[in-house]
Amino acid sequence: MTISVETCWALSKLWYPDRLQIDWQPKSGKRIQTIFDSIGLEGEFWSVGD
């Protein structure tokens, strides 16, 4: 699956900055799906399931 560099940059900005917070916890599947959906990463490939 390929995505544009612009989409990957948008994903990076949503995915990574919270890692520097002391109370960071792994993202839930629901949170991950919300991030993907928000930048148009949809379909079976981007489905994380339950």
Name the site residues for other proteins (rule: CB under 8 A): 1-6, 8-9, 11-13, 15-17, 19-20, 22-26, 32, 36, 44-49
Minimum distance between the CB of residue 45 and other proteins, rounded to whole angstroms?
5
Q: Which amino acid is it at 20?
A: L
What is the sign, positive or negative, of the torsion defined by CA atoms of 4, 33, 44, 15?
positive
What's the rounded Cα separation, in Å, for the pair 26 and 42?
21
Q: Rounded to the nearest whole angstrom, what is the least distance from the CB of residue 27 to other proteins in the complex?
A: 10
Position 30, amino acid: K
Minimum CB distance to other proteins, residue 23 (Å): 7
